[in-house]
Amino acid sequence: MALDRLLNVARKEFSDHITSRRFVIILGLLLVISTISIYDGIENYNNSLEAYTEQLRQMEEFDDPYRNWMPQKPTIMYVFISMMSYMTMLGGILAIAIGFDLVSKEKETRSLKSLLSHPVYRDEIINGKALGGIGALGFAMALALAIAVAMLLLFSVVPTLEEFAAILIFGAVTLGFLLAYFAVALTMSTVAKESGNALIYTLVIFFAVSSLLPMFGAMAAGAFAGDPPEMGPMPKEVVRVASSNGYSTTTVAQSVVYGGTEDPEWKAYEEEMKTYIEKRRLISDVSNLLSPQMNYYTVAIAVTNPQLSSMIASPYDTATEETAGLAGALGRVWMNIAALIVFPSAFFAATYVKFMRMDIR
């Protein structure tokens, strides 16, 4: 495989993608909706910042120990939460639109045989097509992030270095999600004889792994875990334990006390509920690892809201605030990150093998 021939194929495919009317229409729709979501996110961020300032003013009026508690300062990464929901649908459609006819179109027009008559090998063709599609998706993602950052600066919201790094990580995670469905579309384009069939096969897989698989996983988790434990009598006195980080940045622990000792019935209920939740999560997490949507949601939440991600991952851990930063949140979702890498890699490998063995006549 020669690098220059590979890059020539990739360059041609990239040029064909970004100049095609289909790509431009879907990309334009994606950018318009993303811009609207970013605008709404900026409005919510400004409102949260005003509420944060008001909470700080009120905290100064509290006596010990409450005056040492601090609310959580809003971050501009909240702006990208709404953008995330649109990427899962329109972004997936854009990735499918790029890949579903890359090979099948060549079969239908019988141009693949003519292409192979030139001094270019099969591996250079399929790898070049994949690189061209990846480049087009990277271009779309970079354009969306550039517009988002420009809007932030336009509204006088300047990201810090840490927040800018989080924005780049969010873009990389989103690109990984798009590559998952691009890989599926490319595989189906290689397997199917016609582009219409390739599109149908890809859409079936898209809805299966995005909707049906999480639903079946939730049903299986409920069947495996059984009925939830019954709650005992309500607590007579609740002691809330919180760190000096404040209300919105700490995990609250509850216990029932009678004369200074913890209520054993309430403690037993908490342990049973914890075991029940862990059983449900075991099955649902396994099924969600096969869904690019669920992996993307999990990792994107860890990037945009590490505190929320930490509380979801460890709802009974009273020390999650200590490791609620971006690095800690990403460390807890490493399996989802690995799944976002393995999923498209497996389909790319299947595409390569199928194309190399394909009978071209």
So what's the pLDDT on residue 320? 45
So what's the pLDDT on residue 180? 93
Flag residues of the chain having pLDDT under 70: 1, 59-72, 116-117, 225-227, 229-263, 265-266, 269, 276, 309-324, 360-361
**And the tokens for 232?**
């005992």
So what's the pLDDT on residue 246? 39
Global confidence as pTM: 0.78
Q: Where are the domains of the chain?
A: 3-357
Task: Kindly state the DSSP code that residue 210 receives in the 8-state scheme.
Answer: I
Nearest to 145 by CA among 137, 98, 185, 21: 137
Q: At what angle do helices 92-99 and 122-154 cross, to 10 degrees?
A: 150
Instruction: Give the C-alpha separation, 281 to 288, whole Å.
Output: 10
Place of tokens 């919180």: 242
Q: What tens digit of pLDDT does each residue of 94-112 get? A: 889 888 888 888 877 777 7
Q: How far is CA 327 from CA 103, 194, 315, in A?
A: 40, 45, 19
So what's the pLDDT on residue 337? 92
Q: Specify whether the CB–CB gap between 84 and 318 falls below 8 A.
A: no
So what's the pLDDT on residue 202? 92
Q: Specify whether the CB–CB gap between 132 and 9 falls below 8 A.
A: yes
